[in-house]
Structure 1
């Protein structure tokens, strides 16, 4: 990166952090610190909710996922608009009526303390792990750009987020997220525009879509009933619905964003903002990835997008490296020629030549994949612990190698902004839950407001350190965006089941739902480790497990009580 890029990068980050700290300095009231004083309007809520979910992982990993396997991942979000409508109608009025700081306070009012603590504990485990992944994602970028040690970079990124999250609390998070989300959306549009611009000497936008479609990168809808398929219409509408319902309705990192609204109407409008825009935004990011595939058809792609891993192999096994690279470059040249053949055949309306060009394009793609696999095997032979899945580096490679000076710094700032906004929201929610549901509820029930604010700040710092440790575990994941959704699916279904019982099954008591939740959570973890079921189904399995077992245990409890 150039000096100008570094100025743009660090200048943007410094302005965002400084602005958030300045606007929220001196906060000593617990409601102000944890809920932003309940003064935020729907626009701030909507952008804050979107920014908390759209982490750096979204903007690093999602384009790479589409580049590698197409746009089917968008089906994950098909149930999201329905979920947000349900949260607005059912969850928000109850939270506002009870005037809670966390979603889990409601569980004690409805059931008992142990059920509240179980719900809070499951959230802390899941969100703590996820926070580590959202720290790891931007650390990949910085370590790649500056050639810094990844461990050092993880610590640096984590500490940067901790500083302004501790300083300003929920309001600082929401205020900075509004600025960050604006920068993120502008940056992604600019990147998309440059991809189309670079492709224009070879193909028009429509022709680029034709080539992406012929390469199976635009397949967005799959009606398959195979339960082992990760992304289908049914996993999106059912599993995605349960996932989004639990995430937006019971995950404190989201609940805290909209509980900071001036009133319930502002909160509902903030969620409707996401219901309308979230799916198109994800579609746009995936489309960017699909076009990146076409871009690297016409511009020489590396054999492996993790260039630092390639450098190690090139140094230690030069002959094998050069042989595989030469083979890869030959296939890449053929693929480009076949793509141009397909363009011409489509423009001429010659169906026979279209069929031949598609066949040749598939053959070249298979040849490229074979050479890429050889390079992955070579990397593993050099370092058995090396991560060979490189889809998380695809978009980053485009930014660093092909964008003009200045814009590189802006796009990297965009990804860092996404990382800071999402991680800060997570740390703030973790500290809120720990303060309200555990510290204030069990350890020190009577205390001054300023004391709880200080406790929340310290707990934010502690959870930040824990998240940094979790980040070192994240390198084991194959694709970061999928790993975040897998983590959520393992825990969210059970948490959602507890809340649905609380809302709709008034005769089910605390002990029944508590043991139903424990058993269902164990069952989900066992199924995840022993089967190949698509992970979105775990949201449905966990939720239904809690509801069904809760009813069964309640019937036994009532029968036992009647006999006594």
Structure 2
């Protein structure tokens, strides 16, 4: 019986069938998109989906790529143990989406880059769309069955309230507090900006859109997707608390880590329904696949643009395509081998976000340094990057080695959500000081296209009237046979073979 602890059901044949069927269907979607685009076997098609993607599938892919296996397993456990403070990340997602869409997208999109660090995506995006649907279905199955067992959603909510799991808002400014309004909204916003604004796997998605409008809209739609996903994940955790409030799986020693809580719940309450546990496992596995597939495609893009092409600039598209596919296999095997190491890092949610903050915080600082300060030079940026990375690794590793065993409130007790802001500030301040000492950057070497312009902002574009002359100017910037992605510089290399009359009418 659910909620009483003890042995739970095991996977049935139908669970294995459902699990295998969903994974095979996800693979089939990817293969279909790959073969559908086989006539255009160029590197741009493989890495950027031909830059013909629209906002909705890209938005779902953006959501799936980072709110994936970590969300499915870690977020419900967070709600079960600590309550709904994690729900405040909805504010962070809003801030992140706005900053990324209005500041970073215009710059990267205007430059027409493949790798954000200069320099099969269509298959990855459509596979992510399917995997996102599976993840949401897994959460809904858990919540629905839990509501039936507990006598309704209101009972789940009341139990969570009585158990103190709905104490969401804490305005304690203490930076050592793990979760508060300030750590989540301030620290969390910057952490998510660092992941969405400059992370290759995310940038590669929105620059694949056919226009900047679609690119920006994909991020705002992604924001809504993140709201829905985190809400379902949190409510799954509250459902779990309602069921186990008087029979804690930890106390009963039915589970040994928080990451086992939701799988335990699934087998406990859905084990009587053949196929549903398989659906949940497929949801978690699909989340992992979405992240891995995104990362592999991003790694291939960076390697090709930043290493292969500079060394062998005259490679044919056919050879580049073979290199792309070969490196996809290599990086896939590497990701699988790294999974064993990740299993040793404790709670999957905090471990993942801590690593993201420590690594992406210094990178965000370097990008902001270059985008907003014209006198910052390469020496200052490099020294700032190394310094910021050293500081956060010092604090992050110290938190694992020193604080966790001793439970002491020290410098190493800094909230893991402040790793990114700390690294960003150290990187930028150090970079500015070193740049000033080393003579800054020569003005004549600065490319104005590398900086943010007010014309890039959505509010500025909305207030500016659209005239025939401005449309004509836009058409003259690209080859006349291209319609989709007129504001995407990379589209000049893609022949869409449209008639002039069709283009002018649609414009």
Same fold, judged at TM 0.5 (above) = yes
- After superposition, what is the alpha-carbon deviation per residue over 1:383-422, rounded to whole angstroms, capped at 9, x for unaligned? xxxxx75211111112223211122222222222222112
Shift in Å, 1:556: 0.9
Determine whether 1:513 maps to 2:394.
no
* In structure 2, distance between residues paired with 1:402 and 1:237: 35
Give the 3 Å change call, closer, same or farther, for CA 29–286 of structure 1 in structure 2.
Answer: same
Give the 3 Å change call, closer, same or farther, for CA 448–197 of structure 1 in structure 2.
Answer: same
- Tell me the residue number matched to 2:29: 19
Determine whether 1:397 maps to 2:410.
no
Determine whether 1:555 maps to 2:422.
no
* In structure 2, distance between residues paired with 1:455 and 1:464: 14
> How many matched pairs?
415
* In structure 1, distance between residues paired with 2:33 and 2:441: 58
Give the 3 Å change call, closer, same or farther, for CA 67–498 of structure 1 in structure 2.
Answer: same
Give the 3 Å change call, closer, same or farther, for CA 560–220 of structure 1 in structure 2.
Answer: closer
- Tell me the residue number matched to 2:176: 228
| Candidates 67, 75, 79, aligned match of 2:88 | 75
Give the 3 Å change call, closer, same or farther, for CA 297–545 of structure 1 in structure 2.
Answer: closer
| Candidates 191, 195, 208, aligned match of 1:243 | 191
Give the 3 Å change call, closer, same or farther, for CA 548–15 of structure 1 in structure 2.
Answer: same
The 8 Å contact of residues 75 and 231 in structure 1, kept in 2 or not, is answered as no
Shift in Å, 1:86: 1.3
Flag the structure with higher helix content: 1
The equivalences for 1:26-175 within 5 A come to 26=38, 28-105=41-118, 169-175=120-126
The equivalences for 1:403-482 within 5 A come to 403=270, 404-441=273-310, 443-482=311-350
Shift in Å, 1:456: 2.1
Shift in Å, 1:276: 2.8
- Tell me the residue number matched to 2:396: 528
The equivalences for 1:167-206 within 5 A come to 169-200=120-151, 204-206=152-154
Deviates more, 1:206-215 or 1:536-545: 206-215
Give the 3 Å change call, closer, same or farther, for CA 102–559 of structure 1 in structure 2.
Answer: closer
Q: SS of the counterpart of 2:313?
A: coil
* In structure 2, distance between residues paired with 1:6 and 1:488: 33
Give the 3 Å change call, closer, same or farther, for CA 73–389 of structure 1 in structure 2.
Answer: farther
Shift in Å, 1:76: 4.0
- Tell me the residue number matched to 1:543: 424
Shift in Å, 1:3: 2.1
The 8 Å contact of residues 60 and 225 in structure 2, kept in 1 or not, is answered as no
The equivalences for 1:330-341 within 5 A come to none
Give the 3 Å change call, closer, same or farther, for CA 560–233 of structure 1 in structure 2.
Answer: closer
* In structure 2, distance between residues paired with 1:445 and 1:511: 27
- After superposition, what is the alpha-carbon deviation per residue over 1:130-166, rounded to whole angstroms, capped at 9, x for unaligned? xxxxxxxxxxxxxxxxxxxxxxxxxxxxxxxxxxxxx
The 8 Å contact of residues 15 and 278 in structure 2, kept in 1 or not, is answered as yes
- After superposition, what is the alpha-carbon deviation per residue over 1:169-188, rounded to whole angstroms, capped at 9, x for unaligned? 21111011111212222332
Shift in Å, 1:296: 1.8
Shift in Å, 1:458: 1.9
* In structure 1, distance between residues paired with 2:257 and 2:394: 29
The equivalences for 1:3-18 within 5 A come to 3-18=13-28
* In structure 2, distance between residues paired with 1:526 and 1:187: 38
* In structure 2, distance between residues paired with 1:392 and 1:9: 20
The 8 Å contact of residues 246 and 493 in structure 1, kept in 2 or not, is answered as yes
* In structure 1, distance between residues paired with 2:143 and 2:374: 51
* In structure 1, distance between residues paired with 2:72 and 2:142: 11
- After superposition, what is the alpha-carbon deviation per residue over 1:30-57, rounded to whole angstroms, capped at 9, x for unaligned? 1000001111111101100001012122
Q: SS of the counterpart of 2:216?
A: helix
The 8 Å contact of residues 76 and 235 in structure 1, kept in 2 or not, is answered as no
Q: SS of the counterpart of 1:536?
A: helix
- Tell me the residue number matched to 1:486: 354
Deviates more, 1:280-289 or 1:50-59: 280-289
Give the 3 Å change call, closer, same or farther, for CA 394–238 of structure 1 in structure 2.
Answer: same
The 8 Å contact of residues 392 and 419 in structure 2, kept in 1 or not, is answered as yes
* In structure 2, distance between residues paired with 1:182 and 1:100: 30
Greater relative CO, 1 or 2 (CA 8 Å, sep 6+) = 1
- After superposition, what is the alpha-carbon deviation per residue over 1:299-350, rounded to whole angstroms, capped at 9, x for unaligned? x554x4xxxxxxxxxxxxxxxxxxxxxxxxxxxxxxxxxxxxxxxxxxxxxx
Shift in Å, 1:189: 1.5
Q: SS of the counterpart of 1:405?
A: coil
Give the 3 Å change call, closer, same or farther, for CA 206–407 of structure 1 in structure 2.
Answer: same
Give TM-score, length-normalised by structure 1: 0.70
